[in-house]
Amino acid sequence: KAGVTQTPRYLIKTRGQQVTLSCSPISGHRSVSWYQQTPGQGLQFLFEYFSETQRNKGNFPGRFSGRQFSNSRSEMNVSTLELGDSALYLCASSLLASRTNTGELFFGEGSRLTVL
Amino acid sequence: GQQVMQIPQYQHVQEGEDFTTYCNSSTTLSNIQWYKQRPGGHPVFLIQLVKSGEVKKQKRLTFQFGEAKKNSSLHITATQTTDVGTYFCAASGSARQLTFGSGTQLTVLP
């Protein structure tokens, strides 16, 4: 069974540009979450999508957005990039649909974004 | 939003010594999960605890969930070099959103 696939793995952008990251969850997983990981802030929750609907959103500015498609694949977009957006962006999929329990999260390898 | 405090931030141990990392929340948790991230890798799920006072073991790893469901610990007995990595707790409160602790980076010296 294929794992969570994230593309691209690495990318370099300059300030002011925008970026789109893609995530393909494990087959059958309908929940996709996005996290930002930085050395100083650890793993910060961005948002979660389930059946094409955003279920939860973290405390990030509106420049960070996402969506989920009918096949459960998800994309996140960051507009007007800032230096502080440099981070590893992790996508995780899960099977459980409980209101209070995500169940086990399966993480992808991440997309490492560098903003110059 | 919910906050989860994890200590220590770093831990260096000699191979064969024990290791413990702790997570604390000011609010009652619905459940808590533990993940391990190897250097250069991604977080990998270890376990989930749901019940008050729950204790689960995986070989040399022992996980505990406090009676009040506000704290949790991960204890590794007789560490090995393969245990190197960062250990994260991740907690859910009343909402589904998982909040990760800041992680404990474990170094095992041979």
Structure tokens at B45: 């799920």
Report d(CA A6, CA A108) in Å as an integer: 6
**A40 pLDDT tier (thresholds 50, 70, 90):** confident
> Which pLDDT value is given to residue A92?
96
Tokens 């009676």 sit on residue: B67
Of A35, A99, A104, nearest to B96 by CB-CB distance is: A99
Q: What is the CA radius of gyration of chain B?
A: 13
Interface of B with A (CB under 8 A): 1, 30-31, 33, 35, 41-45, 48, 50, 88, 90, 92-103
Using one digit for the tens of pLDDT, what is the confidence trace for A104-115? 999 999 999 999
- The pLDDT tens digits for A84-101 are 999 999 999 998 767 667
Cα–Cα distance measured from residue A86 to residue A79, given in angstroms and rounded to the nearest whole number:
13
Q: Six-digit token pair at A24?
A: 């393909």
Alpha carbon distance A102, A93 (integer Å)? 9
To which residue do tokens 């991604």 refer?
B42
Give the pLDDT band (50/70/90) at residue A13.
Answer: very high
Give the list of residues 6+ apart from residue A40 with CB closer than 8 angstroms, or none: none
Decide: B43 and B88 in contact? Cβ < 8 Å. Answer: yes
The stretches in chain B having pLDDT less than 70 are: 1
Q: What is the mean pLDDT of chain A?
A: 93
Q: B16 vs chain A: nearest CA distance in angstroms?
A: 28
Strand partners, A49: A32, A54
Distance CA B1, CA B107 (A): 31
pLDDT category, A103, cuts 50, 70, 90?
A: confident
Return the percentage of chain A with pLDDT > 90, whole number: 84
Region A57-80: mean pLDDT is 96
pLDDT for residue A96: 73
**Nearest to A21, CA basis, from A111, A116, A82:** A111
Condensed to tens digits (0 to 9), the pLDDT of residues B23-54 reads 999 999 999 999 999 999 999 999 999 999 99
Q: Which residues on B lie below 8 Å from A33 (Cβ)?
A: 98
Choose, out of B9, B42, B45, the residue to mutate when testing the contact with A (most A CBs < 10 Å): B42
Q: In what order do the strands lie in the sheet with A74-78?
A: A5-7, A19-24, A74-78, A64-68
End-to-end CA distance of chain A: 37
Q: How confident is the model at residue A45 (pLDDT cuts 50, 70, 90)?
A: very high
pLDDT at position A88, please?
97
Asked whether the bond before A25 is cis by omega within 30 degrees of 0, the reply is no
Does the distance separating the beta carbons of A104 and B45 come in below 8 Å? Answer: yes
